[in-house]
Structure 1
Amino acid sequence: MRYARLLLLITGCLFLAGAAQAQTSAELKRRKDALSREIEQLNSTLNETSSSKRLSLKQISTLNAQIRLRERKINTMNSEIRLLDNQISDNTSTVRALQTQLTRLKKEYAGMVLFAFRNQSAYSKIMFLFASKDFNQGYKRLKYLQEFAAYRQKQARYIEETRGDLNEKIIELGHNKDEKSHILSDQEQERQTLGKQKSTQAKVLKSLTKQEKEYKQELAQKQRESARLNRAVMDAIRREIEEAQRAADANAVKNGNAPAPRTSTKTSILAATPESAKLSSDFLGSRGNLPWPVEKGAIAEGFGIHKYGVNVNVENLGIDIETGAGSTVRAVFSGTVGRITNLNGSQTVIIRHGEYFSVYSNLRGVTVTSGQKINTKQPIGTVATNSEDGTIRLHFEIYKGLSPQNPENWLAN
């Protein structure tokens, strides 16, 4: 019976460990597939826009983003390999344990078979019972014979179950090794491609130095456009704060109270009503799980300061998402459409979610109006195509009051 309990314990542990590893493996594969899709999106963009002899800053950032994504994909593959190494080690140990268990069960079963063979005649069993000192001992001997026969049958089943588990683990171990071999092969291809892209990147950086004057002009234009967008967003948020403050003051006077002191940076007033407070809480609770503002796309330029060449730096208060022609832009969360602004030859839509704001820039064909209530994933417009370099990018930002947030931390991975 102790072997049966041991076998049950081993099987249970294997099931729990396998389930945990399967979840981790599935997560890594999902992440790797997502990175592959983003790389493919950026690669498609580069192929469509690389006819020009001189790459634009956007195309350079696309190349840089592709390199970063490929490095992340290689790191994800490393995690897959480490996981498979652990699975191979665990399965190898399990195979050995099951082989040892099977050997013991067979040895014990062989002993029982030999004993049964020597005492197989009905005469031997009767003599074994009649040799009892009293009725109580005879009853115990009878029960022993019955239990011995039942236990022998159980042992036979345990042997078959252990042999089945052993075969399954051997097959699983083979699959682990095959999968590791495939990942290593794919990883080597990714490393070779990464090496080629870094070589291209080095040439581009060299050309940046040679054509620094031209790129500085392009950069100055980009910085002016970014500054106009930032001012427009900040002005829109300040107006939202002022309107919320006026509404709160009017409500206080209506209830016979004195209005609260005004401060231009008091963004908590945006969540003063129960409705806006709930919306703020729900938006915060969706951090890391918000849907992307386009159905398919890749981050070509992330949040923060980016360096081009030696003396060229650009600060991005959001992210730039490379996508396909005619891609529909959709709201990442329910809320109310705020200001819709024409900037830099395209449109910008700001949506308020209580104390939070999402900003969608470089749109054409906007399909919403200011003050309109909107739901999650509801279309709000289409991404515009840049007429100069052919890039199709949505500029996306998230704010908490007047404080810009990194959208990558909010969108689902």
Structure 2
Amino acid sequence: MKYFKSILILLLVFFGVHAFSQSRSELEKRKAQLNKDIEMTNNILNKTAKDKKVTLKQLNLLRAQIRLKEEKINTINSEIRLLDGQINENVNQVRSLQSQLAQLKSDYAAMIRFAQKNQGSYSKLMYIFAAKDFNQAYKRMKYLQQFGEYRQKQARYIEDTQSSIKGKISQLNRNKLDKDHLLNDQEKEKTTLGSAQDKQAKAVNSLTSQEKKLKQDLAKKQRDAQQLDRAIRQAIAKEIEIARIKAEEEARIAAAKAKAAGKEAPAAKTGSVLNTTPEAAKLSADFVSNRGRLPWPVANGVVTQFAGRQKIGVNVVVDNTGWIIKTNPGSSVRSVFEGQVTTVIDIVGSTVVIVKHGEFFTAYKNLASVNVSKGQKVSTKQSLGTADGQAEIEFHIYKSREEQDPKYWLAPN
């Protein structure tokens, strides 16, 4: 029974460490990505540091950097909580193993004392020959044999338990060292976060002092964005209309064939006209099943503007429908899912590619070059083109005519 308890404790230790390492691994992976993103924003900001004129793009980068640093601090806090839990668990396991070791040693000492009292061959023979009959003598002989084997097993249990205690103490020390490193990293990030927040406050003040000029610039950008949005929606509406005409034609032909054969006309298909074919319906279903897991349109990038309203200072508000993702100039812009290119247009100084995924559409703006053409089928992560010199990709998702927020569709970066 005691041996079974030892094995049970060792199994619990193994599975507990395995589960901990999985969670820790995920947090370490996320922290590594955050470090990468923070470094990218630092590099971009350093390139513009000489420019004394503060721009909205600089402010957006600072805000993105602050968000990333806050997330990194939260990730470190999660790691520390995991380590605290593991440290407490290791301490309890060491105490439990030490208690069990003490009991094993006590039992083993009792066996040694018994063996010393009966260590002579004569004593063992007398113990056997004192039996009432042959059956009892045989049992006594087997008992002495098993007693010797049990002593050897107990000695091995003691060695195994001592080894486990040593391993747990070593792991406990590593956990404490890891925690110290995390606390140092956390303090460093808090300091740099404060510096970034100060820069952001100065940038907001600078932009607020230029409120009139800023509003004019934003008004022009808003007009360009609206013009682009109309172009995208018109392109989508055209695809829907083409699909509707095709569906009606197919329904008319099917009804004529049924009438000629003296049969009842097939029931009209319900749902989106974009899903009338089995292939389109499957593509739509697959797109939906990957909600929250779609790859990003760029391999490396930081969101500088999310969908929704963004306030700058007191009186200036920016409205975004999609995401603006800062990447590196010349980076490949990728399709987030398999589909078919429906549109490649140049409008308001920007090249846009639209890809249809059943009843869903994705739009990619600010491409310097394009690798695909209208009607071409593309696969997930296939390059559509490259980012322009500004390296700010604008990304949109639509379900038919209804725009979607990318945060519900794209996988965590």
Q: State the TM-score, normalizing by the size of structure 1.
A: 0.94
Partner Cα distance (1:135, 1:331) in 2? 86
Which residue of structure 1 lines up, in the alignment, with residue 129 of structure 2? 130
Partner Cα distance (2:389, 2:313) in 1? 26
Gaps of 5+ in 2: 256-264
Give the superposition deviation at 1:259. 9.3
Q: What secondary structure, in the 3-state scheme, does the structure 1 residue paired with 2:336 have?
A: coil
Alpha-carbon displacement from aligned partner over 1:186-228 (angstroms, at most 9, x marks no partner):
0100000000111111111212221101111111122112212
Determine whether 1:111 maps to 2:110. yes
Determine whether 1:283 maps to 2:287. yes
2:54 and 2:207 in contact (8 A); partners too: no
- Map 1:121-270 → 2, pairs under 5 A: 121-256=120-255, 257=265, 268-270=272-274
The AA in structure 2 aligned to 1:84 is: L
Identical columns (%): 49
The alignment yields a C-alpha RMSD, in angstroms, of 1.6
Partner Cα distance (1:10, 1:337) in 2? 59
Which residue of structure 1 lines up, in the alignment, with residue 259 of structure 2? none
1:337 to 318, 334, 341: 341
Which residue of structure 2 lines up, in the alignment, with residue 389 of structure 1? none
Which residue of structure 2 lines up, in the alignment, with residue 31 of structure 1? 30
Moved over 6 A (4+): none
Partner Cα distance (2:353, 2:2) in 1? 68
Q: What secondary structure, in the 3-state scheme, does the structure 2 residue paired with 1:382 have?
A: strand
1:151–1:229 Cα change, 3 Å = same
Determine whether 1:80 maps to 2:84. no
Q: What secondary structure, in the 3-state scheme, does the structure 1 residue paired with 2:299 have?
A: coil
The AA in structure 2 aligned to 1:46 is: L
Partner Cα distance (2:309, 2:104) in 1? 66
Q: What secondary structure, in the 3-state scheme, does the structure 2 residue paired with 1:51 have?
A: coil
Alpha-carbon displacement from aligned partner over 1:73-124 (angstroms, at most 9, x marks no partner):
1011110110110000001111111111111111111111111121111100
Alpha-carbon displacement from aligned partner over 1:152-190 (angstroms, at most 9, x marks no partner):
111111111111111111111001000000000001000
Partner Cα distance (1:15, 1:409) in 2? 37
Alpha-carbon displacement from aligned partner over 1:262-284 (angstroms, at most 9, x marks no partner):
xxxx9722122110111111112
Alpha-carbon displacement from aligned partner over 1:200-257 (angstroms, at most 9, x marks no partner):
1111121222110111111112211221222122112211211111111111111114
Partner Cα distance (2:402, 2:155) in 1? 70
1:273 to 256, 271, 277: 277
1:307 to 305, 308, 311: 311
Give the superposition deviation at 1:348. 0.5
1:249 and 1:259 in contact (8 A); partners too: no
1:358–1:267 Cα change, 3 Å = farther
Partner Cα distance (2:312, 2:34) in 1? 24
1:271–1:52 Cα change, 3 Å = same
Alpha-carbon displacement from aligned partner over 1:322-373 (angstroms, at most 9, x marks no partner):
1112111111111000111212212000101111111110011111111111
Which residue of structure 1 lines up, in the alignment, with residue 67 of structure 2? 68
Give the superposition deviation at 1:52. 2.2
The AA in structure 2 aligned to 1:275 is: E
- Map 1:81-96 → 2, pairs under 5 A: 81-96=80-95
Q: State the TM-score, normalizing by the size of structure 2.
A: 0.94
Gaps of 5+ in 1: 387-391
